[in-house]
Amino acid sequence: MTMPPHDAVIHAAGLRKDFTVKRKTGRLRRTAQSVSAVDGVDLTITTGETVGYIGPNGAGKSTTLKMMTGILTPTGGALTVCGLEPVPRRKQLARRIGVVFGQRSQLWWDLPLRESFRLLRHVYSVPAADHAHRLETCRRMLDLDAFLDTPVRQLSLGQRMRGEITAALLHGPEVLFLDEPTIGLDVVSKHALRAFLADLGARGDVTIVLTTHDLADIERLCPRLVVVDHGRVVHDGTLAALHERYGSRRRVVVDLDRPYDDLPHVPGVKVDRVEDDGHRVVFALDGVPAGGLIARLAQLGGLRDVAVQEPDIEEVVARLYTTEPAEPAEPAEPAVPA
């Protein structure tokens, strides 16, 4: 096992979780089968980082978060969070982390939000002044005032989610775990929540680990991106590194009055595809600016419309998800040409 670096908040080495599922294989017979939900994850997260954890459905994201928060016992490997082994030290760890599982509530269903917050102060033994300050900040930034006195069961999803995030922050956690915090929220609520989390992350005070299927969350919030598939890390690095690695390019979409006989050749530019009987040509830019290509096209004439497309994260990720299980990636490895 490797030793965690001194500033590591979360350190996982060869982390595994197998579930045993019973399958009906005959009329009466049931055989136990082992499903590997997390299959050897190595991960080190340092203080103040904001890390996005993405992967297709069933990739093992929630399972990993459950192990990190101490509510699920790993099958193998080593794991420390805040220097503690999560499951045996669950109660101590609980004071130092904040957790929001998007589909669950940690609030008291029948009581007003305000009451839940007050209870949490006692449950976590937070000094009254600290509690008041944190609550005040969240009230202001998350606009809680309108529904502070509403019983939780009557809150809308977006309102409840704002309450959940507040509840997770009131005891001043060192690490905030968010499992799909933006699930089911409308565009405005998502924006508000992202702005809040971006702000929180930018201060470097709280380490944030979040899973999501909304890649806009990642683009907005996470300098570092961990992609898992079939329980393994297939990418660990920046978004830009991901683009580079999977050969995503900026593209220039050109609409023409009439098809070219010969497509122009510009250094660093490749023809990606030709559509509409040659009336539309899509060029891929290999790290060069679009200017040279557009100037060349203007010379040729017959240009109706030009659009430059930024690399599409959805596309990269879709490609990543559909390729067969890759070899686990080395963290921060140099870009591999696709």
Partner 1 sequence: MPFAAACPKSAPDPHSAPDPSADPPDRRGRPRPPARRRAADAAAGFVALTGAGFRRYATYRQAMVAGLFTNIVFGAMLASIMLGVAADGRTPGGYSREQLVAFVWVGQGLLNVVYTWGWRELADRVRSGDVTADLLRPVDPLTSYAAADLGRAGQAVLGRWIAPVVVGVAFYDIYVPHRPSTYVLFVVSVVLATLVSFGGRYLVNLSAFWLLDVRGPVALWMLAGALLSGSFLPMRFLPEWVQWLLWCGTPFPSIFQIPLDVAVERTDGALSATTVLLQLVWVIVLFLACRAVQRRAVRRLVVQGG
Ligand X SMILES: Nc1ncnc2c1ncn2[C@@H]1O[C@H](COP(=O)(O)OP(=O)(O)OP(=O)(O)O)[C@@H](O)[C@H]1O
Query: Which residues would be at the binding site for ligand X (CB under 6 A)?
Result: 19, 21, 35, 37, 55, 57-63
* Residue 216 near which of ligand X, partner 1, Mg ion, none (CB within 5-8 Å, type-dependent): none
β-strands 175-179, 97-101 pairing: parallel
Query: Is the CB of residue 162 less than 8 Å from the CB of residue 170?
Result: no
Judged by CB, which is closer to ligand X: 178, or 297?
Answer: 178
Residues in Cβ contact with 293 at an 8 Å cutoff, skipping those fewer than 6 apart: 252, 264, 266, 269, 283, 285
Residues in Cβ contact with 167 at an 8 Å cutoff, skipping those fewer than 6 apart: 98, 100, 106, 107, 116, 117, 120
Judged by CB, which is closer to Mg ion: 113, or 161?
Answer: 161
* Shortest distance, position 54 Cβ to Mg ion, whole Å: 11
Residues that bind partner 1 (CB under 8 A): 9, 19, 47, 62, 66, 69-73, 82, 87, 90-92, 94-96, 99, 101, 103-106, 108, 110-111, 115, 118-119, 122-127, 129-130, 133-134, 136-137, 151, 172, 174, 199-200, 203, 205-206
Residue 191 CB neighbours (<10 A): 14
* Residue 272 near which of Mg ion, ligand X, partner 1, none (CB within 5-8 Å, type-dependent): none
* Residue 148 near which of Mg ion, partner 1, ligand X, none (CB within 5-8 Å, type-dependent): none
Judged by CB, which is closer to ligand X: 180, or 244?
Answer: 180
Residues in Cβ contact with 30 at an 8 Å cutoff, skipping those fewer than 6 apart: 22, 23, 24
Residues in Cβ contact with 14 at an 8 Å cutoff, skipping those fewer than 6 apart: 1, 40, 41, 42, 76, 77, 78
* Shortest distance, position 150 Cβ to partner 1, whole Å: 13
Six-digit token string for 301: 């004439």
* Residue 69 near which of partner 1, ligand X, Mg ion, none (CB within 5-8 Å, type-dependent): partner 1
Judged by CB, which is closer to partner 1: 109, or 304?
Answer: 109
φ, ψ for residue 57, nearest 5 deg: -55, 135
- Provide the residue count of the chain: 338
* Residue 33 near which of Mg ion, ligand X, partner 1, none (CB within 5-8 Å, type-dependent): none
Judged by CB, which is closer to Mg ion: 65, or 120?
Answer: 65
Judged by CB, which is closer to Mg ion: 107, or 178?
Answer: 178
Judged by CB, which is closer to partner 1: 118, or 230?
Answer: 118
Whole-number Å distance between alpha carbons of 110 and 42 = 41
* Shortest distance, position 1 Cβ to partner 1, whole Å: 21
Whole-number Å distance between alpha carbons of 46 and 12 = 12
* Shortest distance, position 309 Cβ to partner 1, whole Å: 33
Q: Which helix (H) or strand (E) holds 177?
A: strand 175-179
Judged by CB, which is closer to ligand X: 61, or 232?
Answer: 61
Residue 103 CB neighbours (<10 A): 10
* Residue 205 near which of Mg ion, ligand X, partner 1, none (CB within 5-8 Å, type-dependent): partner 1
Six-digit token string for 232: 């393994």
* Residue 189 near which of partner 1, Mg ion, ligand X, none (CB within 5-8 Å, type-dependent): none
Query: Is the CB of residue 252 less than 8 Å from the CB of residue 306?
Result: yes
* Shortest distance, position 19 Cβ to ligand X, whole Å: 3
**Residue 310 carries which DSSP code?**
P
